[in-house]
Amino acid sequence: MEKTNNRRALVRDYKDRRVQAGIYAVRCAATGEVWIGGTPDLSTRQNGVWFALRMGGHTSPTLQQAWNAHGEAAFGFEVLEVLDDQGLERLGRASLLVERREHWRATLHAEELRR
* Closest to 22 measured CA to CA, from 110, 76, 103, 107: 103
CB 110 within 8 A of CB 62: no
DSSP state of 102: H
Q: Return the pLDDT at 30.
A: 97
pLDDT tens sequence across 77-98: 999 999 987 766 777 888 989 9
Distances (CA, A) of 5 to 14, 17, 23, 25: 14, 18, 36, 39
- Which residue range is the domain that position 89 belongs to? 18-112
Residues of the chain with pLDDT below 70 are 1, 13-17, 87-88, 114-115
Q: Return the pLDDT at 27.
A: 98
The answer as to whether 79 is a domain residue is yes
Q: Return the pLDDT at 113.
A: 84
The answer as to whether 36 is a domain residue is yes
The answer as to whether 40 is a domain residue is yes
The answer as to whether 64 is a domain residue is yes
Q: Return the pLDDT at 8.
A: 81
Q: Return the pLDDT at 1.
A: 60
Domain count, the chain: 1
CA distance 17 to 73: 31
For residue 89, the domain's CATH number is 3.40.1440.10
